[in-house]
Amino acid sequence: MYPLLQTIDSPDDLRKLERDRLPQLADELRAFLVESVSKTGGHLSSNLGTIELTVALHYIYNTPDDRLVWDVGHQTYAHKILTGRREAMGGLRMAGGISGFPKRNESEYDAFGTGHSSTSISAALGMAVASRLAGKDNRSVAIIGDGALTGGMAFEALNNAGAMDANLLVILNDNDMSISRPVGALNNYLAKLMSGRFYAAMRKGSEKMLKGMPPVLEFAKRAEEHMKGMVTPGTLFEEFGFNYIGPIDGHDLDVLVDTLGNIRKLEGPQFLHIVTQKGKGYALAEEDCVLYHGVGKFDPDHGITAKPAGKVSYTQLFGDWLCDMAAHDERLVGITPAMCEGSGMVEFAEKYPQRYFDVGIAEQHALTFAAGLACDGFKPVVAIYSTFLQRAYDQLIHDVAIQNLPVVLAIDRGGLVGADGATHAGCFDLSYLRCIPNMTVMAPADENECRQMLSTAFKLDTPSAVRYPRGTGPGVAVEKSLHSLLVGKGEIRRNGRKVAILSFGSMLAASLQAAEQLDATVANMRFVKPLDVELVLQLARTHDLLVTVEENTIQGGAGSAVAECLARHGIPVGMLHLGLPDVFVEQGDPVQMLADCGLDANGIARSIRERI
């Protein structure tokens, strides 16, 4: 079915092909990708848009000696297939299988591990400088999308790279038409011309010749900039010190191969602007690239079908609450760093467009922007994944917490996240949040409690966080009120003997099941900060063993807060802390992942039995 693709087990095989066979390879690669992802799930639209680019890069560049650094990494499936992992695609994003993102320990062709955005230029620049220091001639390429270019780190790297004069190529994959107008034959021709050795030599020669005539040199440079500016949007990148080339059609293999072939021979920082289409070649993904960005298993002939109605996810619940609270309080504004759909804000954005702000992939800016709004009387709600909040930790401390501003963090994907693996897991937030003064930190045990906690957080005049897991909860009915909880107060959910299980957040259902096996007491702690000290002391005085359970790293987490409380009050009692281990937990089925960490009902009960 894929006669040419099946002969490619490495880029060396690809580079042996006659150039006129590359379009056939791209077609087979695209068809294989759709078939493969339909069976495993994964990122589809973004990968379909970079088929030709991937083929051209491995055809021209001497990988793995030449370094390819893919930003974010959810456009690397074709790269994986061409670098010896074609058969392994059947286990994509599964336990023991290959990752959905580049990983250095997975392949020598994965030059840099990624998962978060805007890191590629920095990493590739480091590799380019390392090559120069080692006296090598290998090249470094950063491939970054127009969305990831909104991240401030990308501009920091551009600013530094232009002054380094390293042999670095930055490829801007513009797939939203947000930077350039549609490209055509003229732009493709000019790109080839500008990337050629003759153009580069002429430019350098002209500068040497005109050195003694500054006014003429200045005029010549301005004329060149004006000529380029008329046909390309490259002035910005030229100001950073790059030689800008493009925009070109990122699906035209002839143009890509010619242009990349010319660029590889050039010295210094180069910037290639390509325009692609997300979902290219698969009609359903072309029509709705957002729907097909991240997919589960589907029938490639019929596409994604609507899922049967089931339990409401925490993400949906947050979106419903946001709309309800916005109707109740005009001070509410919603902020997301480029995760409108993922964070459940689509309905809010439609109903309250003037109060909805997507700031792009710029988590640091999102927090300080929220702080500015809070300074002038608004009540910002920042919807953000736990793993992405890590990127704005300084802003949370310096701009929000020190000034004690009423910013609400709605933290999605707390805990393990299944197939997305370690780069997207929210394993550390309870630890890094509870040590910040002025913060209130809540972790709901079920859907209704999540809604109540969001209302509680919003009504505070101080920084607050509600941290909830990916997916659905236990299925508790949700009251549509805006009632809040008493801050810092937990509750006893089961009375037992000798052992008390203090459950934080998503671990309550498993803790209750374990308690049935052991006749243990169970407390739903609700608040990580402020901790319910009275409840902790009560349980410590009436039980022989306190067991803390959390879907967070044990180090510095909620269990540590309980231990600190008991030490402060001088109460000796046996303790057992259960949580995520001190490793980066890899991808897999979410239920099995928790079981492997000993955080299902049987695992909790087993750990307690071993201790007593």
Give the catalytic positions in this structure. Answer: 278, 363, 391
Q: Report how far Cα 548 is from the mean position of its chain's Cα atoms.
A: 30
State the amino acid at position 383 in one-letter form. A
> How many other CB atoms sit within 10 Å of the CB of residue 409?
26
How many angstroms separate the CA atoms of 146 and 546, rounded?
51
How many angstroms separate the CA atoms of 498 and 545, rounded?
6
Cβ distance 343 to 336 under 8 Å?
yes
Sheet containing strand 408-412, strands side by side: 356-358, 332-336, 379-385, 408-412, 464-467, 440-442, 527-529
β-strands 527-529, 440-442: how paired? Answer: antiparallel
How many angstroms separate the CA atoms of 477 and 471, rounded?
16
Residue with tokens 């804000």: 345
State the amino acid at position 118 in one-letter form. S
Of the candidates 431, 470, 432, 416, the residue with the CA atom closest to the CA atom of residue 586: 416
β-strands 491-494, 440-442: how paired? Answer: unpaired
How many angstroms separate the CA atoms of 155 and 122, rounded?
9
- The dihedral sign for the CA sequence 105, 107, 108, 114: negative
Cβ distance 259 to 248 under 8 Å?
yes
Q: What Å distances lie between residue 154 and 69, 71, 370, CA to CA?
A: 13, 10, 22
Of the candidates 187, 184, 201, the residue with the CA atom closest to the CA atom of residue 245: 187
Q: Report how far Cα 177 is from the mean position of its chain's Cα atoms.
A: 22
How many angstroms separate the CA atoms of 209 and 497, rounded?
91
Which two three-digit tokens encode residue 35? 């078939």
How many angstroms separate the CA atoms of 219 and 578, rounded?
70
How many angstroms separate the CA atoms of 293 and 47, rounded?
9
Of the candidates 91, 82, 88, the residue with the CA atom closest to the CA atom of residue 64: 82
Number of helical H runs and strand E runs in the chain: 25, 19
